[in-house]
Structure 1
Amino acid sequence: MPRRSRGRLALVGAALAAVTAGLLPGAAAADPGGRDREHRPSDRGLSAVIRYTEYGVPHILAADYANLGFGTGWAQAADQVCVLADGFATVRGERSRHFGASGAPDGSLSSATTNLASDLYFRGVAEAGTVEALLRTPAPAGPSRELKELMRGWAAGYNAWLRKNRVTDPACAGAGWVRPVTALDVARRGFAVSVLGGQGRAVDGITAARPPAAPATGATARATAGAEGAPDVDPEAAAEAARALFAPENATMGSNAVAFSGTTTANGRGLLLGNPHYPWQGGRRFWQSQQTIPGELNVSGASLLGTTVVNIGFNDKVAWSHTVATGVPLNLHQLTLVPGDPTAYLVDGKPERMTAREVTVADRDGAP
């Protein structure tokens, strides 16, 4: 999987191979009995046709991108509503409220080791307006009009499914955290997916950051428990931690993609194998579908749950996959603090004051 994506709110194929491909193995739930089922969900001016083929793979047909998003959101909710709802609780910064601050998220949307660290990070992203700024950025650095329409439609389809169906999965039936979403929620989830290999790797460090001389108290102490705290930072220890962060043997992401020309295959046609090394279950699994807008788009493949587009797949002309680069797309910078002022640092010899932002999250087991 790619480790970075600037300004993009949904993953796209980072490597293209011009081959004629067969459908890659998907992660859709096996449903041999679902063959040829057809559904026509509609709600508040949006609609789609969803035909389920062998093993429960949905083929989503729609008139435009908003309606395609509607059908995709509906079909994903029908298949994985509890997993999706859990992820939306994460990007809203509400895990501590529903599951307790000391509990652990499933790791699908960040490296946070506790719900409190996860919430502080995602509430910080929300209160900083990071995703809203990306949405205002013109394409191609920001999302296209089509992608915005897909996200709007996805949220509408997910919400329509919740209104018109009863959740029976015991994992979340009757749970207060299964709630309607907005297009901004969908965009925030896409942002989380896009930065998994960057700042998403450092969530505990980001949320544990504090002035070197400031002792941790109360909820802050809980958020920073086990973190490298010190009034006096050991430079050698910091250097060793940096080496460990960049060490290839400590990398947690990996995948493969292999393209074959027609001269090497039995039928003389090209072949692309995408092997993303992602889990079969949970919030970071792939979900197989076909998306069609007649005369505009016809693509088959797999999407990460909660995203609106096919991330690994093919159309009638090209197939694509993506894989992890060996380089680490982040840099460390050591700041020289202003003597006696641990929240200011020197830039070209002049003091630059850090910006303070207080983030508060609700806790199921106590005060915010």
Structure 2
Amino acid sequence: MKKTALWTAMSCAVLLVGCGNDDNRDAVVEPEPTPEVTLFAENGMPTARLRRTTFGVPHIEADSVEGLAFGSGYAQAQDHLCLLADGFIKANSERSKYFGPHKSIDFSTGMPVVEDNQNLISDFGYKALGVRSSAASLLGEMPDRSKAMISGFTKGYNLYLSQLADGSVTTPNLPCAGQPWVKPITDVDVLTYLFSIALLPGAANFLDLIFFANPGDGDEYLPRMAATSSVTEQANEMYADIRTKARHQKSSLTTPEMNPLDMGSNGWGLGSEVTENGKGIVLGNPHFPHTGQLRFWQSHLTIPGHLDVMGGSLVGMPGAVNIGFNKNLAWTHTFSTAEHFILYNLALKEGDRMTYLFDGEEMPITKQTVTIDVNIGGGTTIPFDKDIYLTAKGPMVEAPPTAASFPWDDAQAFYVQDVNMNNVDVLEHWSAMNFATNLEEFQQAFKDYDGVIFNNTMYADDQGNAFYIDDSTVPHISEDAQNALRISPELMAAREAAGFTILPGNETRFAFDGAVPYEQAPKLLRQDFVQNSNNSYWVTNPAAPIENVSPLYGDRRVEQSLRTRMALTLMMDARGDDGKFSPAEVETALVSNRAYLPELVMDELLAQCEAQGDTPVVVSDSLSVDITPACAALAKWNGAQNKDAIAGALVREFGYRFDTEAHLTTPFVYTDPVNTPSSLIDDGSALVALAAAAATLTQNGFDLEATLGEMQFVEKSLPDGTASGARFPWGGANNFEGGFNVFAYSNEANDDTMLPQHAYPAAIDAVTEQATRSELTTEGYHIRYGSSWMMVVGFGDNGPEGRGLLTYSESNNFQSPHWNDQTKYYSDNNSLRPLLFTEEAIAAETLTDVTLSLQ
């Protein structure tokens, strides 16, 4: 965490020095100081004006920061009450209290339908991470602006709840309204939730391993019923089931993933050299799950004379925009390759599993007993105790050697340290970006704060500057440790095997206590462009590769993804005839649905098809395929994965079987990362991949010449977890095809909420006889992941000119008119829509206009 400082509006005074005697000196004229923004509403009673325009977009105006967050909390509750309430319950370790020990529930009965212990694991895990206790102790130390944002959000959310309860709002009934877990919140609840979100790219992926960590070799990790005197037979049966399932789960643990939700994104910042009018343009294209708590919500926030910002924010962000623009600048984010935690391997004291050695000194591992309440049915809860184990830097983790190889035995043990633990900058950093009016002030936000948890940042402004920085929160390890990661065979092998960094925990030289400072973060200021599509910082701009930063930020001089290569190709060939971009041309590039893989190999693949003729391609001992129909279908593909793309599904299934290392003959050359590797191999293996793709589609009943719009669709779930029946055909490519505007199916297991989602049976791969890697279903490609908040913003003589779209629409309430309206718009138009930023534009399309007040 960097230094914390409150934002204040700065005024400048001009000193005029005259000559001669005092009587002849010119009078000194000082400009009126700019008044500071008001943080808290008078008497703790915030007010806000809330207007909603077409597509339900809220435009919130207030005279204080607290008032702005008040309006934001109210409007977010209108659109996402159930989602928010579940987030607060999860962060507060109360899922088991309301839903029982297992994750999935049936809202009609309130009882579990899938028994997996995940609620227990989540509740005890967040207890071990201390998010609630830290929020309670740190709230008073937060900067005043952050406290104002939290306070306002809490009051706005609670106002909506109270109005639902007394019937004073006419919002249709919500499936969660009136349920005991949907309850008023406190400021501590909001900060607890923010702390939990900050851990998603790090320690939150270790909840299973935290749950199972214990120094013994038996069942000591299991939770215990605390109130044994009042335990019923039903409770005993549930407890026995919990224990049985926990033992099975421990034996099947796997290594945590760095990015289990597949969060991605594209971002461009275009500068004066490549734009038609010499002013900046920003393309924002986050790829996030379309369900769950990492959901974007669009808003426009205004404090007259101080702040005027519009964009998308993750639900639960209290009165700030995460990706957006103001009158002078715009910015976006992509998921960084940087690491935000380190797993430390402890050398234990001989004969003592609760003591480790650090610089030769003995250090304790402490045991703490925590308690959660567990619903055993019928509205009855009983307390469960569990022992968790902690070092001074983070919780212990364990997985048996047969699983993830992080044992706790006589010689060694492991703990995880997350640099985002208790990140009190998370609000202040984005708020400072929202208030910034130029490049210097925007950069100052990154110098002052470390709240951009896991993101790269791309920026452009009305002066034509383009700026990139990966100032996501990264452990600041010593130069000695960095060099060891680069040259030590053991450390490099461990990192390669696990997918994240594992360091010795017994020496100071490997330890860290804070984040990498601004000066050492990878960054680039250009007048042409900066971009990122989830590869590392290295080729933010191929003309100026970034080198010499901590290896924890990701790899350099490595092969780039097909999506990054598509992005850099679009950067060069999607400009107009003048060689420069207009905002309209940037939007066209975004929604063109081009895919790099077929552009790279299609001509060579079709030539191989022609040479193969009708001779069957041998895929396996039991499968040979005449690829003539597949080749004929590919020849009709129209060059982009739009809804009308014939054979779009065949291109996709081929992409999932394509291996650049095996199927391309020209190797990667780090001095030409955009164009290498290339050249399709002519040994028949590419035709085998095509044959397997075609067989999979035909064996599952799909026509090889079906358009992508016939195969790919968006369909939301109703509150009971059944299909809504409203299907929208969808264009868009996939990462494995090298798409830029990416959409994909996201398994319901990745939706870490208690809100049920429907899913269709998996299609079966013709070769493996397992579910397809592409997650094709018997109904086609059911989209629940990909482009979410889409934005293109340029600057003209009269300020910003923005177009954008929220692909899954503004509201999560299925009875809202704004549940599917933007979804239908995108399906019908494959384009963005105007963003209403000026007062004239807002007034012309206002649907509702209310003043919110606690009085």
> TM-score of the superposition, structure 2-length normalised?
0.33
Deviation of the 1:284 alpha carbon: 1.3
Give the whole-Å Cα distance in 1 for the aligned partners of 2:117 and 2:48.
Answer: 39
Quick check: 2:211–2:221 contact (8 Å CA) kept in 1? no
Deviation of the 1:171 alpha carbon: 2.7
- Determine the structure 1 residue equivalent to 2:350: 339
Q: 1:195-214 maps to which residues of 2 (within 5 A)?
A: 195-214=199-218
- Pick closer, same or farther for the CA change 1:59–1:103 going to 2, 3 Å: same
Quick check: 2:92–2:132 contact (8 Å CA) kept in 1? no
Give the whole-Å Cα distance in 1 for the aligned partners of 2:203 and 2:280.
Answer: 37
Deviation of the 1:150 alpha carbon: 0.7
- Determine the structure 1 residue equivalent to 2:146: 147
Return the letter of the residue paired with 1:296. H
Q: 1:6-17 maps to which residues of 2 (within 5 A)?
A: 6=1
- Determine the structure 2 residue equivalent to 1:47: 47
Deviation of the 1:164 alpha carbon: 1.2
Quick check: 2:85–2:183 contact (8 Å CA) kept in 1? yes
- Determine the structure 2 residue equivalent to 1:123: 127
Give the whole-Å Cα distance in 1 for the aligned partners of 2:307 and 2:172.
Answer: 34
- Determine the structure 2 residue equivalent to 1:85: 85
Return the letter of the residue paired with 1:363. V
Give the whole-Å Cα distance in 2 for the aligned partners of 1:268 and 1:64.
Answer: 35
Deviation of the 1:52 alpha carbon: 0.5
- Pick closer, same or farther for the CA change 1:93–1:135 going to 2, 3 Å: same
Quick check: 2:117–2:246 contact (8 Å CA) kept in 1? no
2:271 to 242, 261, 279: 261
Q: Does residue 216 of the first structure (1) align with residue 227 of the second (2)? A: no
Quick check: 1:125–1:131 contact (8 Å CA) kept in 2? no
Indicate the percent of aligned positions where both proteins have the same amino acid. Answer: 36
Which secondary structure does the structure 2 equivalent of 1:310 belong to?
A: coil
Quick check: 1:207–1:224 contact (8 Å CA) kept in 2? no
Quick check: 1:205–1:227 contact (8 Å CA) kept in 2? no
Deviation of the 1:88 alpha carbon: 1.0
Give the whole-Å Cα distance in 1 for the aligned partners of 2:66 and 2:278.
Answer: 38
Quick check: 1:284–1:305 contact (8 Å CA) kept in 2? yes
- Determine the structure 1 residue equivalent to 2:102: 102
- Determine the structure 1 residue equivalent to 2:291: 281
Q: Which string of whole-angstrom CA distances, capped at 9 and with x for unpartnered residues, describes residues 48-91 of structure 1?
A: 10011111100000010111111111111111111111111111
Quick check: 2:131–2:192 contact (8 Å CA) kept in 1? no
Quick check: 2:284–2:332 contact (8 Å CA) kept in 1? yes
Give the whole-Å Cα distance in 2 for the aligned partners of 1:315 and 1:161.
Answer: 28
Q: Which string of whole-angstrom CA distances, capped at 9 and with x for unpartnered residues, describes residues 252-272 of structure 1?
A: 332221122355456664321
- Determine the structure 2 residue equivalent to 1:367: 382
- Determine the structure 2 residue equivalent to 1:348: 359
Give the whole-Å Cα distance in 2 for the aligned partners of 1:174 and 1:326.
Answer: 42
Q: Which string of whole-angstrom CA distances, capped at 9 and with x for unpartnered residues, describes residues 291-340 of structure 1?
A: 11111111100111111111111101111112222232222211122233
Give the whole-Å Cα distance in 1 for the aligned partners of 2:221 and 2:274.
Answer: 64
Q: Does residue 73 of the first structure (1) align with residue 69 of the second (2)? A: no
Q: Does residue 59 of the first structure (1) align with residue 59 of the second (2)? A: yes
- Pick closer, same or farther for the CA change 1:78–1:170 going to 2, 3 Å: closer
Q: Which string of whole-angstrom CA distances, capped at 9 and with x for unpartnered residues, describes residues 205-224 of structure 1?
A: 12221114342365367485
- Pick closer, same or farther for the CA change 1:252–1:192 going to 2, 3 Å: same
In structure 2, runs of 5+ residues without a counterpart are: 5-42, 106-115, 166-170, 225-241, 384-855
Return the letter of the residue paired with 2:214. R
Give aligned pairs, total: 308
Greater share of strand: 2
- Pick closer, same or farther for the CA change 1:245–1:59 going to 2, 3 Å: closer
- Determine the structure 2 residue equivalent to 1:324: 335
Give the whole-Å Cα distance in 1 for the aligned partners of 2:221 and 2:271.
Answer: 61
Which secondary structure does the structure 1 equivalent of 2:368 belong to?
A: coil
Greater RCO (Cα-Cα under 8 Å, separation 6 or more): 1
Deviation of the 1:251 alpha carbon: 8.2
Structure (1 or 2) with the larger CA radius of gyration: 2
- Pick closer, same or farther for the CA change 1:128–1:64 going to 2, 3 Å: closer
Quick check: 1:208–1:227 contact (8 Å CA) kept in 2? no
Give the whole-Å Cα distance in 2 for the aligned partners of 1:122 and 1:348.
Answer: 30
Give the whole-Å Cα distance in 1 for the aligned partners of 2:203 and 2:2.
Answer: 14
Give the whole-Å Cα distance in 1 for the aligned partners of 2:154 and 2:137.
Answer: 20
